[in-house]
Amino acid sequence: MGSLHGLIPFCLVLVLVLSSNHLIAKAHKNSTNQIKVEADFKIIAELAGKNAIPNADFQGLAKLALTKAISNGNAIYHRVNSLLLKTSDMYTTRSLTGCSTNYKDAVGLINKSLAALDAKNYDDAKTCITDALANSTKCEDRFEELLQRNSPFTFMKAKFGLLCLSGLKHINLLVQNERLITEGCSQTLDKELCKSTVVFFLENKGLGLHGLAKLAVKKALQDGTRIHNHISVLLKTTSDQCVLKKLKSCSAFYLTAIEKIKESLPALDCNRYGDASTGVGAAIDSAETCEGVFAGKSNTISPLTPMKIEFSKQVSISLVVIKKLAGN
């Protein structure tokens, strides 16, 4: 097994995940589920010991490198076009014209890789970066072929290449990180809650349990407020009277949810963890009631559902951390 240092932080996350209200409710339905929770914990704790998961922001580092690569690629592109205006040699003109196209395409591909990265299409992101590198190499090859010399952009191209490779490296690390988290959570009773909690913990590792709890609740408050504001917009733009009636009900439910979450913050500050947990739990009940209003007998999907899913996830994380805080 890996070092104790690598094992402790992840084990803490697993305790948080496996002691959430949702999971405990499932686990205590029968003794078999209780044994399953304990077995899951042992398996994942062992996995965590062998594969300590770093908390570096690999996505942010990849985006930084690729943004710099775009800036560098644009600088080369403008330099190429500047030289094109000054040259009269046929082979130099052909080489520069090709390079102009190459770097225009390369910059476009890096922009596409950023969009793919945001969409978590990591294979597409890596393919775009690799193709961008190939375009920069074509420029160098053209100068070698037509003029038997290096291009005037060789050193700039080297920097462009290093930035692209840095982006690729951090995307690969991001993929590895996500795979480790997925594997670690694969046998838990609530896989998505496990993954969300692990990511939240890693992103805010230095806060301590109380700081994590407050941050989680504040994020839930932001999500709930965002939904309530969105409902206000829909109320002004929707003409369907039936939908309007449901939206008005949901507005009241989310206003209640927001108030309950607000009440949980001072409860946390005063170490009244039971009250904090009750307030946050009541918020998710209000959100579920809104979904029920829209579903009705026709089982209609609420226009708020995608936002509600994110809200529910953040509320669940809040409950997990508060539950662990109360048990310390």
The pLDDT tens digits of the residues spanning 152-183 come to 888 999 999 999 999 999 999 999 888 887 87
Q: Which of 139, 165, 181 is the last residue of a domain?
A: 181
What proportion of the chain, given as a percentage, has pLDDT over 70? 80
Q: Which of 181, 196, 221 is the last residue of a domain?
A: 181
69 and 169 fall within a common domain: yes
- What was the pLDDT predicted at 327? 66
Cα distance between residue 328 and residue 326, in whole Å: 6
Cα distance between residue 168 and residue 150, in whole Å: 26
- What was the pLDDT predicted at 255? 92
Can you list the pairs that 176-185 forms with residues at least 24 positions away whose Cβ atoms lie under 8 Å? 177/53, 177/54, 177/58, 180/51, 180/53, 181/53, 183/47, 183/51, 184/10, 184/14, 184/44, 184/47, 184/48, 184/51, 184/53, 185/17, 185/44
145 and 172 fall within a common domain: yes
192 domain residue, yes or no? no
Q: Is the pLDDT of residue 78 over 90?
A: yes
176 and 224 fall within a common domain: no
pLDDT classification of 89: cutoffs 50, 70, 90: confident
Q: Is the pLDDT of residue 137 over 70?
A: yes
- What was the pLDDT predicted at 328? 55
153 and 216 fall within a common domain: no
- The total number of residues shown for the chain amounts to 328
Q: Which range marks the domain in which residue 4 is found? A: 1-20+28-52
CATH code (residue 316): 1.20.140.40
196 domain residue, yes or no? no
266 domain residue, yes or no? yes
152 and 99 fall within a common domain: yes
Nearest to 78 by CA among 156, 161, 145: 156
Domains contained in the chain, number: 3
Q: Please give the average per-residue pLDDT across 238-242, as a whole number.
A: 84
298 domain residue, yes or no? yes
- Please check whether residue 128 is in contact with residue 109, taking contact to mean a CB–CB distance below 8 angstroms: yes
pLDDT classification of 184: cutoffs 50, 70, 90: confident
Average pLDDT, the chain: 80
- Compare 207 and 143 and report the one with higher pLDDT: 143
- Please check whether residue 145 is in contact with residue 44, taking contact to mean a CB–CB distance below 8 angstroms: no
170 and 212 fall within a common domain: no
47 and 95 fall within a common domain: no
Q: Which of 147, 181, 215 is the last residue of a domain?
A: 181
Q: Kindly state the greatest CA–CA separation across the chain.
A: 85
Cα distance between residue 213 and residue 245, in whole Å: 35
114 domain residue, yes or no? yes
How many CB atoms sit inside 10 A of residue 182's CB?
13
- What was the pLDDT predicted at 88? 84
Cα distance between residue 111 and residue 174, in whole Å: 19
**Positive or negative, the Cα torsion across 223, 280, 318, 312?**
negative
Q: Is the pLDDT of residue 35 over 70?
A: no
- What was the pLDDT predicted at 25? 39
- What was the pLDDT predicted at 298? 63
188 domain residue, yes or no? no
Assign 3-class secondary structure to the chain. Answer: CCCHHHHHHHHHHHHHHHCCHHHHHHHCCCHHHHHHHHHHHHHHHHHHHHCCCCCCCHHHHHHHHHHHHHHHHHHHHHHHHHHHCCCCCHHHHHHHHHHHHHHHHHHHHHHHHHHHHHCCCHHHHHHHHHHHHHHHHHHHHHHHHHHCCCCCCHHHHHHHHHHHHHHHHHHHHHHHHHHHHHHHHCCCCCHHHHHHHHHHHHHCHHHHHHHHHHHHHHHHHHHHHHHHHHHHHHHHHCCCHHHHHHHHHHHHHHHHHHHHHHHHHHHHHCCCHHHHHHHHHHHHHHHHHHHHHHHCCCCCCCCCHHHHHHHHHHHHHHHHHHHHHHHC
176 and 145 fall within a common domain: yes
15 and 66 fall within a common domain: no
244 and 270 fall within a common domain: yes
200 domain residue, yes or no? no
176 and 77 fall within a common domain: yes
- Compare 73 and 38 and report the one with higher pLDDT: 73
213 domain residue, yes or no? yes
288 and 215 fall within a common domain: yes
